[in-house]
Structure formats: C-alpha cells, structure tokens
A and B are shown apart, each in its own frame.
Chain A
Amino acid sequence: MLSRILWSRASQRLLGVAALAAWTAAAVYAQGAAGPGVPTPAPPERSQQSPASQRPPATKVSQEYSAAQVEAGRTQFASQCGFCHGRDAAGGAGGTDLTRSTLVAEDVRGDRLGPVIRSGRPGQGMPAFALSDGDLAAIVAFIHGQKTQAETAVGGRRGVEPSDLQTGDAADGKRYFSGACARCHSATGDLAGVATRHQGLVLLQRMLYPGAGRGGDPPRVSPSVTVTLPSGQVVTGKVAYRDEFTIALTDASGWYRAWPASQVKFSIDDPLQAHADQLGKYTDDDMHDVLAYLQTLR
C-alpha cells in the first residue's frame, strides 16, 4: 500500500515536472541511473520490503491464462521488453528480474502492470509502450507465467541472495563507518533498525548510493536548494529539476517554481554527494565490511 501511495504521488510530480521526459526517455542501451540533481520521479518496487521474507514475493491472486495468450505474450515480451528484462523476464541488461518483482506479485490481470508499461518509468530509463489492449494482456499473461515457473524453480538464476553477501567483518565495518559515514549517519539515529527494513542487495545498493539502479529504493533524502531572486527574495525547496539553464524547486506548499539558472543565485545542498564521493574510496573489503556492520543494526 505504501508503495502504491508513493507511486501515485510521484506520478503527479512527474507530470508536473517533466512531462517531456515521458516521451524522451526511451530505454537507452545499457544506460545507468540518472545522476544527482535529477530526481528519480518514480519510486521503484520494494522487492525485499518484508524482513521475514527472503524469497521472491508470491503472487497474491492466482490467475490463469490460455496457452495461446502466453505464447503471444512471449513474442511480444521478447521484442518489446526482453532486452532489458531478459527474454525469460528474469532480468537482462539493466532491467529488473520481473519474476521477483513485488509489482508483478500484486498485479491482477494487468491492473498494476498495465499503467507502468503504458506510462514507463522515465526516471529509471523505462520508456512508455504504446500497446494494444490485446498485446498488453498477452505480455501480462507471459510475465505471470514466467513468475509461476520461477516460484517453482530451485535457485535464482541471476539473483543475488542475502547469503551471498556475508563476507565482510562487522568490527572492521564499524571502524570504517565511524570514520567515513558518521558525519551524516548514526547507528542509533537514522540507521537504527536499518537491517530490519532492508536486507541483502537492497541494503547494499542503499548503502552505496540510495536510489541506485533500476529497482532500487528511492532515497529518503533529496537535494534541497536555496534560490535568491534578483529582488533579494529567498526561496527554498527540494530540487525538482536542474540542468545547465534551469533551476526548479518544489516549495513547501508543493508548488513547482522554476527560474533561468543564469538570472538567479542558488546553492544546492545534496546530502547524497557524500555517497558519490565515497565510491572512489571504498575497497571491495571496505564495502563488504560496512555492509556487515549495517546488518548488525537490527
């Protein structure tokens, strides 16, 4: 439910902020996530939200599809979706493993998948697809079929399991944390219980760069900006859009306001910049150690 609410809010913000992006953001071959200053508009699915479950989320409502529809969907899926999500829907170049997707698990005959496929997720590089109702239904049928197969299969073919990520030393990680991370984070403050909220790959991704990658969780913090107008008036808010020519924010009342970047003074405070800077400093051991330490914060 939480993710549904976030999604609809984000959709509204997306419409207001970057309507153009919807038709420009066709998936680029093997492109990565957008950098900072370009807010990720659509919150991704929370594939490992429940602390109790390390298994892929199970289909909520079982659904049956005809073999012909699934086969038609296989063809459509391969050509439209397969490059990023894999022909078998279990992940490809950059796209998430749909057989482990919460959105798919919660979908009933396209009620959740349809809007995402039709609108895309521009912030995460997923384009909008203009499909007929029949083609869309076939793709949905195929995805559910693949998910059913994956639920009965043994082992995740392209998955990363929490058990894979247990090579670090928590004591070393704690030392590293107090040197590199403690300026912004606290084990008893913002990160208290983080390991009960996130595990495995999701925790690792959030640790490295919150909101990282497709299917990553949205960051809980976003860049804020202070804009000083020529009149001397000061406006503050969350960065809504930023490029070389435009600075835009969402103010406290939720309004989008934009200015030519050359005609105002502004300063951006991006709390995530420290994460980007840290990426060049971690050794792989450091990374595993800090993860091991975060895993103790239950």
Chain B
Amino acid sequence: MEIKSIFVIFFVLVGIFFMLIGSIGILRLPDFFSRTHAISKSDTLGILFVVLGLIIHDGTLVNSLKLGLIMIFIALANPIGSHALANAALKKGMKPLLHKKKKEN
C-alpha cells in the first residue's frame, strides 16, 4: 500500500471517531447548554479531519482549493450557529443546570 492511502485512511477514521463522540454527546448530556459543546467542538473537528483526508486523496488543484474553502466555511459557520442558538436560549429565559440531579434519564 502506498503512503498516500495510509494518510487518507488515518484522517478519515479519526474524523469519523470524533463525529461518533459528538453524536453520543448530544444524546447523553443532561442540559441544553452542555449539548452545544458536543456540536460545536468535537463535530467541527471531525468534519475538518475527514475533509483534510479527502484533500490528500484528491490530487487536482481546483478541487483541493474548493475543499479547502469548505473547510474554512465549516470552521467559521458551525460554532457561530451553536453560539447563536445558545444566545437565543439565554435570552428566552432558559437556566443552565448547575447542580447535578439524582435521577437523570
């Protein structure tokens, strides 16, 4: 196996692992303000890793530049969306969960 395929497989698998952690986090965390962490951090990192692996796999210049544009847009847009949702929740009057409850789920 050539050295390029090893890098592609490594980056895509690491990205899928981080996206799996984000999906489990949005299902398991107890509060709205803690669920935004699972979306804005680990999900963005997973998407960036997978697109980086696709850039390495694709050789031509134009497609790699377009994929780099997608990377920049995702890295800007995904935390902005999560922050806007959290800001809307705070303005609406939703309180963050400060003390741990006994029976959750």
A binds B: no
